[in-house]
A and B are shown apart, each in its own frame.
Chain A
């Protein structure tokens, strides 16, 4: 059973395949932010991740005709995002794990603790996620941000279900640990 957004995606893909540039633009517009967030989970660098996402959408533009309508467009797209980002990571030899001196860094003092703005919250959450291993951050975001099942995550990442479960478990623990490191007891403002 296909849901409404999936059917809308299919319609956009069909129109884009017929040469409708506005349909392709709409597809990019709908998924550019999620794609960037996923790429950032792996690359830990927003500027580099944006370049990778641009490369991804160029690939999508040329490969769109090969898309078979037997899976969700998002599954197909996220698979390209994840593969391209991991390839870029390999190419640039960026260390998968973070440097030891960045783990458990100093607790940042927040001046106005009663009013932790949305932007500040986002900043600290992303900082904590940057400190996770790429696989953990990716699986956490696919599970909670994209609301995908373990089976769907397996389809995108090609990780074993057991690894996905372990990454989810460790990712949750490590996220909480790093948020506590960054915010101390003020972590409660995020909840």
Chain B
């Protein structure tokens, strides 16, 4: 057999998927998305509580650290204590807000 004949023969060997293949696949993907959102939904309250406690601890520690007297460092930090405190607190709240947003996003899938 020559190259063309092999090519012609192997071209005929293409196998077709079952009729519902695409629909079954899309259904399987939807199910996985749904399971993912359920997992997040189940642990949402725990995650949110942990994050809130962490934010409170971090805020308290930060406030304490900034209140301490570090001599030269304190002089330098003196004018910036409030802005630093506000920026860090804002970042922590931004992170917490992302957790809430993520939960709402997954809720919309259901």
Interface residues of chain A, those whose CB is within 8 Å of chain B, are 21, 25, 28-29, 32-34, 36-37, 40, 46, 49-50, 53-54, 57-58, 61, 118, 121-122, 125-126, 129, 140-141, 144-145, 172, 175-176, 179, 190-191
Contact = CB atoms under 8 A, between A and B. Distances in A.
Chain A binding surface SS class: helix
B108 to A, nearest CB: 13
Interface string B1-16: 1000111111111111
Contacts of B25: 28, 54, 57-58
A33 B9 contact: no
Contacts of A129: 10, 13
Contact of B12 (A46, A121, A176): A121
Contacts of B12: 118, 121-122, 125, 190
22 contacts: A21-B26, A33-B16, A36-B16, A37-B13, A46-B15, A53-B17, A53-B21, A54-B28, A57-B25, A125-B9, A125-B12, A129-B10, A129-B13, A140-B6, A140-B10, A141-B10, A141-B13, A145-B11, A179-B9, A190-B8, A191-B8, A191-B9
A172 B3 CA distance: 9
A144 B10 CA distance: 6
B84 interface: no
Contact of A58 (B9, B16, B21, B28): B28
